[in-house]
Amino acid sequence: MARIILHKELFDYDTELRKAYPVICGVDEAGRGPLAGDVYAAAVILNDSVLINYLNDSKKISEKRRELLYDEVIDKADAYCVATASVEEIDKINILQAAMLAMKRAISGLGVKPDLALIDGNRLPELECESRYVIHGDAVSASIAAASILAKVSRDRYMRELDEKYPQYCFSQHKGYGTKLHYEKLEEFGISEVHRKTFLKKLYEKK
């Protein structure tokens, strides 16, 4: 018999909001902290009939489980979109604004205008619909948790693609974050075109 781990409070949170806002969009980003790669964002619209076993904050779920949930979210969502802001945009407008831009693109790409967008964190992008931020939202709202899964899995897959293109940096191991291994590879091979120059300003100037 399959084990059931349902964080029903996440779904109850969204259900209550749908009494006033029938179409709710959950939004989350992945990749604000790394030294390399684009920042990703996802927007997801679920409905009251959807329950997803194991759905939770993506950081609390194993990589294998996230991959399984990714497929389930896509299958059960009324609408979803994954969008990015590039390394060049991050360096030009800063990571916070780039993350907001990726979120805005994800919402615009839904093809459906939500009545309310729930944004993980404590900042809001400029949107055409009503929005509110939810601190630690991926542990509060099922819609945001679903978006966190899509954003995280999409970015991890992208970093594995970069690993094939730039194997010397071991991107598949650290996903671009500032680990000891990553800094060692930067010292050895220098900064690539997929590294965020503003995150590595001192190292960039030295090189």
Would you say domain 8-158 falls under CATH 3.40.250.10? Answer: no
DSSP 83-130: EEE-HHHHHHH-HHHHHHHHHHHHHHTTSS--SEEEEESS-----SSE
Per-residue pLDDT tens digits for 24-59: 999 999 999 999 999 999 999 999 999 999 898 888
| Residue 6 Cα distances to 26, 38, 152, 173, angstroms | 18, 32, 20, 30
With contact defined as beta carbons under 8 Å apart, do 145 and 55 qualify? yes
Per-residue pLDDT tens digits for 150-190: 999 999 999 999 999 999 999 999 999 999 999 999 999 99
Domain boundaries, the chain: 8-158
Is residue 67 marked as binding? Answer: no
Is residue 28 marked as binding? Answer: yes
Instruction: Specify the pTM.
Output: 0.93
| Residue 71 Cα distances to 45, 83, 93, 119, 132, angstroms | 15, 17, 33, 22, 27
Alpha carbon distance 108, 104 (integer Å): 6
Per-residue pLDDT tens digits for 110-165: 999 999 999 999 999 999 899 999 999 999 999 999 999 999 999 999 999 999 99
Going by the DSSP 8-state scheme, the letter that residue 175 receives in this structure is T
Name the token pair of 136. Answer: 């630690």
Classify the C-alpha dihedral 64-160-178-200 as positive or negative.
Answer: negative
Is residue 57 marked as binding? Answer: no
With 60 as the cut, is the pLDDT of residue 15 above it?
yes
